[in-house]
Amino acid sequence: MKKIVIVGGGTGGTILANNLARRLAPELKASEVRITLLSASDKHMYQPGLLYVAFGRMSSQDLYQDQASLLAPSIVFHVDPVKTFDMDNNRVVTESGVSHDYDYLVICTGSRSNPESVPGLAEYANHVYTVEAAEQTFKSLQQFEGGRIVIVTGVPHKCPMVPLELTFMMHDYFRDRGILDKVEFYYTYPIGRLHSLENVGKWAQGEFDQMGINYETLFNVKEIDGQKRQVHSEEGSIVDYDLLISVPPHNGMPVILENALGAGGWIPTNPATLQMEGREKVFVLGDTTNIPISKAGSTAHYEAEALGENLAALIRQGSMVRIYDGKVFCFIEAGKDRATYASFDYKNPPQPQPPTQMIHWFKLAYNKLYWNSVRGLL
Amino acid sequence: MGTPKQVDARNSFCPGPLMELIAAMKMAEVGDELEILSSDKGSANDIPEWINKVGHALLESYEEAGIYHIRVRKTK
Ligand SMILES: Cc1cc2nc3c(=O)[nH]c(=O)nc-3n(C[C@H](O)[C@H](O)[C@H](O)COP(=O)(O)OP(=O)(O)OC[C@H]3O[C@@H](n4cnc5c(N)ncnc54)[C@H](O)[C@@H]3O)c2cc1C
């Protein structure tokens, strides 16, 4: 029997497991293949929903579904996180001490925000990367009566659109509250434009100029002086704030660091085959890779589809049949009721269109359709 | 000091070469040398501009067969 072990039941792991269950249905039925998914939680969180929690437009309870309910019945699922990767012996060992050997291993344990890595950020800045933080951000926005809001972005971070989306959504939130004239926005960004995607940066600059949003580029947050309410940048700027909104820097999961699989918790991964460097039978998906690509659910989704096809082909004919072309598709909320999107791959940059209400509705629909998407029904 | 650590940011639109370099510099030790590879022409200007603004040492910057190579030493 061929054994595929998938570590991590988030966006990438769930899509891959269901994709394989569909492709390898006859082999699963004949007990020639087993797919085991090991994860750290019995709940699956729709993480993009956290952005809406921060504006009171979704409640935290709306973000979760039972992980088991999302999986094809032929998938063996255990809530038992992996502690040790013993790749020389083709096995992983879980926290409860169970050893799982494999023919193919897929690692997709995601990433986590790490505000603690910047002095003062965890204490003084709001963010939206955990349920508690998103709920707290909503409280801070509700209590804010005017002043200067500074937006800072750490590197690397998950979901490249969040810095812009937060800014646009705050703009509309305070407009609706009737106090926009009392709020000054000061958007900062690590590189020399407003977004890593050049065309998105150009588009955002036009919008910001029209909305009167101020900005400073080449700004990497170094520390926060909470007493003086000031942000210091690596580049030497000091900026005053009344409310600080952050996109914290991220790292891979502790288990990746503890097993020395990659600096920062990012596993060296071949961008085309998704194989871990130096390991033929180990693949990596989603946020956990070190591929210079957006850490986004859509990246994990497209990677999982390519890998599903390849793993099925490896099982059936012993070779891979396609490469991952770097496809990513991200919606961009441009306020409370307008959105656009960026679609790109390794070779082709995006050409964002002017935002429309229709695209915003697509995004709202996707917030619900996500569950069908991870089930493999879309 | 051995061969500089290479950061391969070819074909990266998002996060892109400079963001990749910033992330790698955070993980590096003072004194480490890094070489970033980029297929994006804009980076040939952006990356040295950032290195100079922060105050790291720009060691070398050249283009070879459409790929930009920029070498930097972390100074602080
Ligand atoms: C506020 C916010 C907004 C976002 N907006 C968007 C958006 O608009 N569009 C978009 O495409 N993406 C968006 N994202 C990003 C997207 O959610 C992630 O990039 C995506 O979930 C990554 O998928 P993944 O499978 O790599 O990791 P995850 O989905 O994070 O899953 C990781 C899984 O690994 C498990 N795990 C962890 N440790 C272990 C272990 N030791 N053993 C076993 N399992 C383990 C976890 O329990 C989890 O199930 C957003 C994220 C946030 C936070």
**pLDDT tens string A307-329:** 999 999 999 999 999 999 999 99
Q: Can you give the residue range of the structural domain that contains A62?
A: 2-110+253-327
* pLDDT at B1 (0 to 100): 46
Q: Which residues, other chains included, contact A368 with Cβ-Cβ below 8 Å and sequence gap of 6+?
A: none
Contacts of B42 in chain A (CB under 8 A): 198
* pLDDT at A280 (0 to 100): 97
* pLDDT at B3 (0 to 100): 63
Q: Which of A327, A354, A372 is the last residue of a domain?
A: A327
Asked if B14 is an active-site residue, the reply is yes
Phi then psi for A84, rounded to 5 degrees? -130, 130
Domain-embedded: residue A130: yes
Same-domain pairing of A193 and A128: yes
Protein residue whose Cα sits closest to atom 16 of ligand 1: A297
Q: If you ran DSSP here, which 8-state letter would residue B59 be given? A: E
Average pLDDT over chain B, rounded to an integer: 93
Same-domain pairing of A229 and A279: no
From A159, A168, A294, the mutation candidate for ligand 1 (largest count of ligand atoms within 8 A of CB) is A159
Q: Which of A207, A233, A249 is the last residue of a domain?
A: A249
List residues of chain B with CB under 8 Å from any CB of chain A. 8-9, 11-20, 22-23, 26-27, 42, 46, 49-50, 53-54
Whether residue A220 and residue B23 make contact (CB cut-off 8 A), yes or no, is no
pTM for the structure as a whole: 0.97
* pLDDT at B42 (0 to 100): 83
Domain-embedded: residue A353: no
Domain count, chain A: 2
Q: Which residues, other chains included, contact A361 with Cβ-Cβ below 8 Å and sequence gap of 6+?
A: none
Domain-embedded: residue A377: no
Domain-embedded: residue A243: yes
Whether residue A271 and residue B11 make contact (CB cut-off 8 A), yes or no, is yes
Same-domain pairing of A68 and A174: no
Q: Which of A249, A268, A290 is the last residue of a domain?
A: A249
Domain-embedded: residue A97: yes
Q: Per residue in A154-204, pLDDT tens?
A: 999 999 999 999 999 999 999 999 999 999 999 999 999 999 999 999 999
Whether residue B22 and residue A271 make contact (CB cut-off 8 A), yes or no, is no
Of B1, B3, B13, B14, the active-site residue reads B14
Percentage of chain A modeled with pLDDT above 70: 100
CATH number at residue A84: 3.50.50.60
Same-domain pairing of A105 and A153: no
Q: How far is A294 from chain B (nearest CA, A)?
A: 5
Interface test with A, best of B12, B14, B51 (most A CBs within 10 A): B14
Q: State the pLDDT confidence band at B30, using cuts at 50, 70 and 90.
A: very high
Same-domain pairing of A172 and A146: yes
Same-domain pairing of A226 and A284: no
Selecting from A192, A235, A342 the residue whose C-beta is nearest the C-beta of B46 gives: A192
Same-domain pairing of A119 and A242: yes
Same-domain pairing of A120 and A245: yes
Domain-embedded: residue A118: yes
For residues A201-224, give the mean pLDDT: 97
SS (H, E, C) chain A: CEEEEEECCCHHHHHHHHHHHHHCHHHHHCCCEEEEEEECCCEEECHHHHHHHCCCCCCHHHHEEEHHHHCCCCCEEEECCEEEEEHHHCEEEECCCCEEECCEEEECCCEEECHHHCCCHHHHCECCCCHHHHHHHHHHHHHCCCEEEEEEECCCCECCCHHHHHHHHHHHHHHHCCCHHHEEEEEECCCCCCCCCHHHHHHHHHHHHHHCCEEECCCCEEEEECCCCEEEECCCCEEECCEEEEECCEEECHHHHHCCCCHHHCECECCCCCEECCCCCEEECHHHECCCCCECHHHHHHHHHHHHHHHHHHHHHCCCCCCCCCCEEEEEECCCCCEEEEEECCCCCCCCCCCEHHHHHHHHHHHHHHHHHHHCCC
Domain-embedded: residue A238: yes
A residues 285-304 lying closer than 8 A (beta carbon) to B: 292-294
Same-domain pairing of A123 and A232: yes
Contacts of B66 in chain A (CB under 8 A): none
Same-domain pairing of A220 and A129: yes
Taking 90 as the threshold, does the pLDDT of residue B44 lie above it? Answer: no
Give the distance (Å) from ligand 1 centre to CA of residue A106.
15
Same-domain pairing of A222 and A210: yes
**Predicted-assembly ipTM surpassing the 0.90 threshold:** yes
Domain-embedded: residue A99: yes
Same-domain pairing of A82 and A95: yes
